[in-house]
Amino acid sequence: MSRARETLFHVFGYTQFRGPQEDIVEHVAAGGDALVLMPTGGGKSLCYQIPALLRPGVAIVVSPLIALMQDQVSALKEVGAAADFLNSSLSFDRAMEIERSMIAGALDLLYVAPERLVTPRFLDLLDHLHEAGQLALFAIDEAHCVSQWGHDFRPEYLQLSILQERYPHIPRIALTATADAQTRREIAERLCLVDAREFVSSFDRPNIRYTIVPKDNPRSQLLAFLREHTGEAGIIYCSSRKKVDETAAALAEKGISALAYHAGMGAEERSINQDRFLREDGIVMVATIAFGMGIDKPDVRFVAHLDLPRSIEGYYQETGRAGRDGLPAEAWMAYSVADLVQQRRFIDQSEAGDEVKRVATAKLDALLGLCETTTCRRQRLLGYFDEDSAPCGNCDTCLHPPQTRDATDSARKALSCVFRTGSRFGAAHVVDVLIGKATDNVKKWQHDQVSTFGIGTELDDKGWRTLIRQLVAHGALAVDHERYGALTLTESARPILRGEAGFTMRVDTPPTKKGRNIGTG
Ligand code: ADP
Ligand code: ZN
């Protein structure tokens, strides 16, 4: 038996490595650098913990969250490994004690917060260990925190490149559960891991069922969804603190054990709520994205989004908190174009440079594509992470294939109506013109005189709105929030207008008798 397998069995009590674990362990134990992309629950920890035990000296594990460190260290102590952590929760004396035991060679693993690792004092300690040949490896957990595009961005992570400069021969392993190609590149570049071997696992979470519905009456849609999960633990994500508070209160009023969590609450209240979520059964946590990273609760049965996340990665990461025990779980989201417009506004109004805004917008558009897809959601999701797969049979579009129809003519009418009215009006006005409704505004702008006035007899007002939303999702129309949500034509509108490309639209179906929209977006 290899030493790696021996350690797996004798220390951790497992008989087999999972997926790429063994290759990773062998590679890092032999002194190689690695970039590990593995979904949540895939078993990243062992990938550095076993090499840490196999190599002489202490392994330094960089981890962004105190709670995460505490959990890992207690689990390691339980199996008899010498592990400890250094972070701001410790007293000065306790921290000194840990530093001494590290220098004395009594530790196998030390978990440390990034801001502490880069202090001159800690680097001195590392120099000392380095000279004595007592630095086993560096593990950088939650490595996507180095990415400024993600919402977990931690500026201190950027300073970790110092490890490569200062200790070029000590193996480094970076791990994350989030990684589209862009983030992957960023991690490699910023942590100076360009020559590291990449280990990419499948990101599929087959036990999670994906459902995305158009927002109609979000509160009652949510209640209908929750009725299918009575007594189960779940997380409901909202984009604002206010909405978190309101939603939690409304659910509590309906007798649901809902708690709130957001960064605007006091630290104590937050930690009480988090604790209850972890320890009690069937708590529904209504939260902003401040809640989640490092929450290791295996039996979260559902994750619901009442607002659009910022990207597919965000969506994947947040929904990934469901079903870590491998049992069936559900990811449900209600979205609308208003969400999209709001997100675009956040991006445009941010202080960021043009390049940042461009990437953020592209990420949002990719997410919108996932919302509006007529094909398997999982395939779309995995495709975004460059992973090929077949239709899954466990998402709304597979289970209830959306009705689609050729809407090329209607699309052309809508696009030309946007053009005829000067690309200065929002969807409501454009729809009025299409269906020939002579409102005051239509008359004021003499849009009852344009050639597209009243040509849209084939759809009703809701149908046109749906079509316009899908044209926005498709990228043929853009929403300009600086001009009050005015619709404008994009480059991709051209082939449709010229008759060189068709347009297929998915038809929204009314809510089913279970009270929920299935398979439409
Ligand atoms: P991640 O950090 O990727 O989310 P963890 O390292 O926390 O995942 O592992 C998830 C769970 O899987 C843990 O309970 C862990 O003990 C278990 N696990 C990891 N590797 C194996 C293995 N080879 N055999 C059995 N269980 C494993
Ligand atoms: Zn599917």
Tell me: the pLDDT tens digits for 86-128?
988 899 999 999 999 999 999 999 999 999 999 999 999 999 9
Task: Say whether pTM exceeds 0.95.
Answer: no
Rg (CA), the chain: 26
At 509 the pLDDT is 55
Q: Whose CA is nearest to atom 17 of ligand 1?
A: 43
Q: What is the mean pLDDT of residues 446-454?
A: 94
Residue 393 has pLDDT above 70, yes or no: yes
pLDDT confidence tier of residue 502, bands split at 50, 70 and 90: very high
Q: What is the mean pLDDT of residues 193-217?
A: 93
- Name the residue with higher pLDDT: 160 or 363: 160
pLDDT confidence tier of residue 255, bands split at 50, 70 and 90: very high
Residue 520 has pLDDT above 60, yes or no: no
205 Cα–ligand 1 center, Å:
14
Residue 295 CB–ligand 1 contact under 6 Å: no
Ligand 1 atom closest to the Cα of residue 16 is 23
At 304 the pLDDT is 98
Q: What is the mean pLDDT of residues 455-466?
A: 91
User: What count of residues does the chain have?
Assistant: 521
218 Cα–ligand 2 center, Å:
24
Q: pLDDT tens, 265-285?
A: 999 999 999 999 999 999 999
As residues whose CB is below 5 A from the ion ligand 2, the structure lists 376, 378, 392, 395, 398
At 183 the pLDDT is 86
Residue 238 CB–ligand 1 contact under 6 Å: no
288 Cα–ligand 2 center, Å:
27
At 27 the pLDDT is 98
Residue 328 CB–ligand 1 contact under 6 Å: no
At 508 the pLDDT is 66
Q: What is the mean pLDDT of residues 319-334?
A: 94
At 359 the pLDDT is 80
State the average pLDDT for the chain.
Answer: 91
Q: pLDDT tens, 7-43?
A: 999 999 999 999 899 999 999 999 999 999 998 878 9
415 contacts: CB under 8 Å, gap ≥ 6? 471, 476, 477, 489, 493, 496, 497
At 517 the pLDDT is 41
At 402 the pLDDT is 86
Ligand 1 atom closest to the Cα of residue 39 is 3
d(CA 123, CA 130): 10
Residue 372 has pLDDT above 90, yes or no: no
Is the separation of the CB atoms in 488 and 494 below 8 Å? no
Q: What is the mean pLDDT of residues 225-243?
A: 96
At 510 the pLDDT is 45
Ligand 1 mutation pick, 22, 46, 63, 293, max ligand atoms within 8 A of CB: 46
Residue 426 has pLDDT above 60, yes or no: yes
Q: Which ligand is nearest to the CA of 376?
A: 2
Ligand 1 atom closest to the Cα of residue 40 is 4
pLDDT confidence tier of residue 516, bands split at 50, 70 and 90: very low
Q: Whose CA is nearest to atom 2 of ligand 1?
A: 44
Q: Whose CA is nearest to atom 9 of ligand 1?
A: 43
At 469 the pLDDT is 85
322 Cα–ligand 1 center, Å:
16
At 316 the pLDDT is 92
d(CA 76, CA 62): 16
Q: pLDDT tens, 46-97?
A: 999 999 999 999 999 999 988 889 889 999 999 999 999 998 889 999 999 9
Three-state SS annotation for 25-54: HHHHHCCCCEEEECCCCCCCHHHHHHHHHH
Q: What is the mean pLDDT of residues 484-512?
A: 82
452 contacts: CB under 8 Å, gap ≥ 6? 413, 416, 417, 420, 421, 433, 434
Torsion of CA 38, 39, 44, 45, to 10 degrees: 160
At 106 the pLDDT is 95
17 Cα–ligand 1 center, Å:
10
Residue 137 CB–ligand 1 contact under 6 Å: no
